[in-house]
Amino acid sequence: MAVSTRFSAVLFGCLLTVLSCLSQGAADFKAKYVPEGGKIRLFIGQDTETISKYQQHVPEDSLEGVTLYTSVYNPENPVYFHGFYEPANWGAGPINYQKTLDDAPGAALAMGLGFSGDAATQELVGYEIAEGEHDKEIIRFINTLKDMSPRPIFLRIGWEFDGFWFGYRPESYKAAFRHIHSLIKQEKAENIVTVWHSAAWPDYNIAGGFSDLYNHSKPGMLDKWYPGDDVVDWIGVSVFYPDLTQWGYKPPMSPQDAQRSVLEFARKHNKPVIVAEAAPQGYRIGQQSFSPINQHKPKKASASKIWDGWFKPFFEFVHENQDVIRAVAYINTHWDDQPMWQCAYGGRAGQSGCWSGNWGDSRVQANDTIKERWLKEIQNEDRWLQSNPE
């Protein structure tokens, strides 16, 4: 009797799990550009040169999406939408929208849209945006994106809003987000979907006196930043760390817990998720080496070790949460070649020669084994979007 009861309980539990998964997989999202059949759209970024080299060396990928960046306004260096209308390079690779979009005519565009190019002025510009001071230029920008129709535009307004390094504050951030959304609706730019993108950064302690604003373990933290269901189409999350393997110390919470908090928020609000930034930080695919994100002291790491250490758990995370994750943006770049991301040998994050931490080389084409396994994954027609139907 005990065995029979236990078997029945296990069977019932399995049935509930299956029904739950089926229910999650059949989520009826209202947002645009959610691939049919539970599939995922892949974006490649995050600068023009990186994208061009990926197209050259990984022609097997039909390139469903590309990722580039800009900002509304920078009062320290007065310019609107830096890099959008004319080519630019702020040390993180060249940005040339015209070339990238011409070279990938069927690709969706995911845009990181900051409020200011300077962290010290994000709150100021956020309030200025909300009060309409930059409407003329923002409307021009929106109409330029509208003219790209039917190309889908995923507009990540104030991307990584909860990354302390950007200096956003909740009230000005939400007000600016809502105002930009109102202008998109006003101009009837129906090919633009808005993305609310969380950094899901686990070490809130280094944010100093503002740590509570960025603490994902604090109840209601995301609610404090959320602009509202009526203005958010997709929710974004950064996933650089499947676990603590890449960390040289233990942050106050795990990266997985921070990421899960965003996914659960998306489920609660019935919003599709884009993994808006992802890369194996600290790994160097070309050199086959690895070093923690906070110090550049590399050790040898075979292609198999790199794949098993980052790519395998990353794709497992994506597919385990495919009920909400319906797009992924991978950063396929040689970070060491870009001044903003360089880290001298022996350098420590936040110090001279390694200000932005240890990033490395995430180019899948830099190693034949990685490229082969990458293509095997993304060419799985049951999981990944393979054409451009829009």
Q: What is the mean pLDDT of residues 210-222?
A: 95
Considering the chain, what is the average pLDDT of its residues? 92
Q: Which of 90, 85, 101, 111 is nearest to 48 (CA)?
A: 101
Please say whether the beta carbons of 193 and 31 come within 8 A: yes
Q: Which residue has the higher pLDDT, 28 or 297?
A: 297
pLDDT in tens, 37-54: 999 999 999 999 999 999
Amino acid identity of residue 156, one-letter, is R
Please say whether the beta carbons of 101 and 109 come within 8 A: yes
Q: Is the pLDDT score of 18 beyond 70? A: no
Q: Is the pLDDT score of 16 beyond 60? A: no
pLDDT in tens, 336-389: 999 999 999 999 999 999 999 999 999 999 999 999 999 999 999 999 999 754
Percent pLDDT > 70 in the chain is 92
The reported pTM is: 0.92
- Give the pLDDT of residue 388: 52
Q: What is the set of domains in the chain, with CATH numbers?
A: 29-281+297-333+362-378 (3.20.20.80)
Number of neighbours of residue 30 by Cβ within 10 angstroms: 10
Q: How far apart are CA 244 and CA 209, in angstroms?
A: 25
